[in-house]
Amino acid sequence: MMAQYLALREEAGDCLLFYRMGDFFELFFEDAKTASQVLDIALTTRGEHLGQPIPMCGVPVHAAEGYLARLIKAGCRVAIAEQTETPAEAKKRGGSKALVARGIVRFVTAGTLTEEALLEPRRANVLAAACEVRGTVGIAACDISTGRMELEECPADRLAAALARLGASELVVPDGWDEAPEAAIRRSAHEFSSDGGEGRLKLVHGVATLDGFGAFTRPMLAAAGGLIAYLDHVGRGSLPLLLPPEARAADAALAMDEATRASLEILESSQGGRKGSLIDAIDRCVTGAGSRQLADDLSAPLTSRLAIAERLELVEWLHDDALLREDLRAALRALPDVGRALGRVVAGRGSPRDLGQLRDGLSGAHRIGERLAQRNDVPVLLERLLPELGGHGALVDHFARALVETPPTERGQGGYIASGYDASLDELRVMSGNARRAIAALEAKYREDTGVASLKIKHNNVLGYFIEVPQRHADRLMEPESGFSHRQTMAGAMRFNALALHEEAARITEAGGRALAAEDAHFEALVGEAVAARCGIARTAAALARIDVAAGQAERAAEGNWARPQVTEGLALEIEGGRHPVVEAALKAQGERFVANDCRLASHDRLWLIGGPNMGGKSTFLRQNALIVLLAQAGGFVPAKSARIGMVDRLFSRVGASDNLARGRSTFMVEMVETAAILAQATERSFVILDEVGRGTSTYDGLALAWAVAEAVHETNRCRCLFATHYHELARLAESCEALSLHHVRAREWKGDLVLLHELADGPADRSYGLAVARLAGVPPKVISRAKSVLEKLEKGRAETGGLAAGLGDLPLFAAALDAREEVCDTVRDKLRNMDVDALSPRDALEILYDLKREAGSGD
């Protein structure tokens, strides 16, 4: 056995090996140690190998899905080694000591799950493959639980952004590609050929040409080849549901890089998980498929005005008819997840329950379609979707006749084919039922013949049917003329057989076996019918999801008094009474009100410089406007009184940063990398939010960087931008940048306390209120008092010298700093570098600070 195991273990590669032994999947050696820790199950030993005990642990086969889910979540991959023959077949092949043959039948990985228990209902499970062909990256992505497949290409420097949009559970790349993410799974580069990919796609879909599916580039086809080859590997030659591929144009969606997605917390909050994210605040879908579609919409907002308008029209139609919306959502809520049921059926992992879900889901879709088609004012998008809701009448009728009302999840025990569907099956069931009644009659007869009232006829999978009596009555059945033959002695009971019982048991077994075989044949026929109709069923599932998204968006809009945005081809961004959907929901839960604010950007006023105190609402204001743009272009209503949005091609958010120690980057380095990406990629049609650029370094360096970045955004990128800062000196930019205006979030100090008004006002901030915020945070009064005295001296020095920005207004854009200032800075740096700070008293330190201040001022 160990030789067989080791051979399979080598085949499993970097996966844990689930080795089937009877009713358990066993793990050995290092696999056992890993699994026992992850699953928190007992680690034991079994035999020895090379003189050492073999570590072992195991999980029951019937509960394997739950354990697999935990292993996959922990980042493990699992190879399933099943028995490929029965013990009887093994005995016939090689005698009584023959080992049952086993083989790896499937690899279970994060991106190739189809089982309902292993998937999150409201989250897509994407598997992606990527490769580079002559400087261009091809990406193939699919969700095998529903079969949807997309192909795209992008420049090599945009790969991270494309993968961030997909949020893939698993990424497959060719071996030897140095630019690929470290966590990617490496496969042979030969699998990533464009010719091979084209051939595999043709074979999967049974076509001679791919022209009917769209135009695909060589990088796209190469990535598709790698994806299908990987699926063929993990499925051991059995491919899952793959629908015809769709080509995604590079400019079809609003572009967002990884940092922007993380900053805006679109699908996941900064703490991890769905709670606190944008989708958590707006998702009112009543089906898992609808939630998955909404997530896709938010991940890839549209850049086509026509497509956006069609989505908005459908949302508005449902928003304005509350009764229709309520009825529609109730009907959708009752439907099963048709797409994922189809995925399991096509992958060969379907159950009778999945076939029942297809029947019920398609039948419900037809009823929804009939109800909506009765309206005369159907929106254009819904008009296109309605035909997809019907067209399965023959399949639904067939499944309705063939299946019981509530089919079981397991097919092995039968009982899922309805009575009246197959006369011969019904006859076998009658025979089996009659035989069982005969068993009950035999039991009564044997009790009467033996006088043993406690005699029972029982059944188990080892002995079949047998007679059991307590030990004290066993002598009566042991007599030779009794007609009973001894089979097994238990602790307190004895088991027997009898000729009549044997004959009835044989009839039951034969009839039951034939009935199970008949049901199994019907199951396979029904599966074949579903597989043949898979593309149409998938389109129905997609139509239901799109309708659910529109109804959910309408419900959220009605619930929060949201407005339909106007999306234009211009460059204006006019939002009246805008609100942050996540923050507003959180405040509402606490019984508090969100303060709405306007935002009006235009060609003559496209860069807003926003000052004000920490906690005053600057970051919230920046993010809420970015989210309103995103929601509008995703085709939904927005949290505002009104919104007029000129189409945005790229959305950038540099708000907050943290260390990325794994990549050797400090907080400031992360901030600069993100800022560099914005300056390199933002166009006139982009929308950028920047918060506290330059605050991660020294005051002079930070101010210089913030000044130069603001100038670059204004003069070079010329994009719409909200720029929040604490550098009051940047207000001088308004003198030289004609499209820059000054704004601030309002705050007041009242009797020593800071009152944050969260309102946006025109003009520069009078101060930062940093000490007041520190007091709110609980900084000791003594420290606050000392800071106040230091601040007064600093501000007095600034007034005398003209401040940090003195003279900057006279500089041409992007000019270098004055040589004299650089000399002073060098002198100050040298003194600080040579200073023994630990040896200084507070008074000495203050005197040195005064000296440095005077010296710094001498250079102005």
SS3 of the chain: helix, strand, coil, percent, to 5: 50, 20, 30
Residue 741's SS3 state is strand
712 in the same domain as 599: yes
What are 251-270's pLDDT values in tens digits? 899 999 999 999 999 999 98
Q: Does residue 206 sit in the same domain as residue 142?
A: yes
Query: Which 8-state DSSP code applies to residue 591?
Result: T
Q: Which is more confident, 207 or 430? A: 207
pLDDT digits (tens, 9 = 90+) for 284-318: 999 999 999 999 999 999 999 999 999 999 999 99
Query: Under a CB-based contact definition with an 8 Å cutoff, are residues 719 and 687 in contact?
Result: yes
> Can you tell me which residue has the tokens 């190469």?
222
Confidence of residue 355 (pLDDT cuts 50, 70, 90): very high
> Is 2 labelled as part of a ligand binding site?
no
Q: In this structure, is residue 840 part of a structural domain?
A: no
* pLDDT at position 813 over 70: no
Which pLDDT tens digit goes with each residue over 190-203? 999 999 999 999 99
Whether residues 755 and 656 fall in one domain: yes
Please check if 807 is assigned to a binding site. Answer: no
Q: Kind and range of the H or E element at 3? A: helix 2-12
Q: For position 149, what pLDDT does the model report?
A: 97
792 belongs to a structural domain: no
Q: State the residue range of the domain holding 65.
A: 2-108
553 and 565 in a single domain? The answer is no
Mean pLDDT of 547-575: 97
Structural domain includes residue 175 = yes
Q: What is the CATH number of the domain that holds 539?
A: 1.10.1420.10
Domain check: are 753 and 608 in the same one? yes
Task: Please give the tally of structural domains in the chain.
Answer: 5
Say if residue 828's pLDDT is above 80. Answer: no
State which of 80, 108, 136 marks the end of a domain.
Answer: 108
* Six-digit token string for 342: 């189809």
pLDDT bucket at 859, cuts 50 / 70 / 90:
very low
Q: Which of 267, 262, 289, 263 is nearest to 278 (CA)?
A: 267
614 and 726 co-located in one domain: yes
For residue 785, say whether it is annotated as part of any ligand binding site.
no
* 617 marked ligand binding residue: yes
Helix (H, G, I), strand (E, B) or coil at 176: coil
Q: Is 612 annotated as a binding residue?
A: yes
Answer yes or no: do 585 and 645 share one domain. Answer: yes
Specify if 836 maps to a domain. Answer: no
Q: Looking at this protein, which amino acid is placed at residue 476?
A: R
CA geometry: angle 768, 772, 775, nearest 5 deg: 145
641 in a known ligand binding site: no
Residue 615 marked in a binding site: yes
Same domain, 144 and 241: yes
Q: In terms of domains, do 620 and 681 share one? A: yes
Boundary-marking domain end, from 470, 496, 520: 520
Is residue 614 part of an annotated ligand binding site? yes
Question: Are 631 and 731 contained in the same domain?
Answer: yes
Span 149-192, pLDDT tens digits: 999 999 998 999 999 999 999 999 999 998 898 889 999 999 99
State the Cα–Cα distance between residues 188 and 183, nearest whole angstrom.
16
pLDDT of residue 625: 98
* CATH number, domain containing residue 20: 3.40.1170.10
In tens, the pLDDT along 652-679 reads 999 865 554 445 567 888 889 899 999 9
The mean per-residue pLDDT over the stretch 781-806 comes to 74
The one-character DSSP state at 302 is B
Question: Backbone phi, then psi, for 565, in 5-degree steps?
Answer: -80, 155
- Is 351 part of a structural domain of the chain? yes
Query: Which tens digits make up the pLDDT trace of 13-43?
Result: 999 999 999 889 999 999 999 999 999 999 9
In angstroms, the CA 612 to CA 242 distance is: 53
Q: What is the pLDDT of residue 18?
A: 97
CATH number of the domain residue 180 falls in = 3.30.420.110
CATH code for the domain of 278: 3.40.50.300
| Mean pLDDT of the region 759-785 | 83
Task: Give the whole-number percent of the chain exceeding pLDDT 90.
Answer: 69
Q: What is the pLDDT of residue 818?
A: 42
Whether residue 756 sits in one domain with residue 617: yes
In a domain, 790, yes or no: no
Is 400 contained in some domain?
no
Inside any domain, residue 841: no
Q: Same structural domain for residues 651 and 767? A: yes
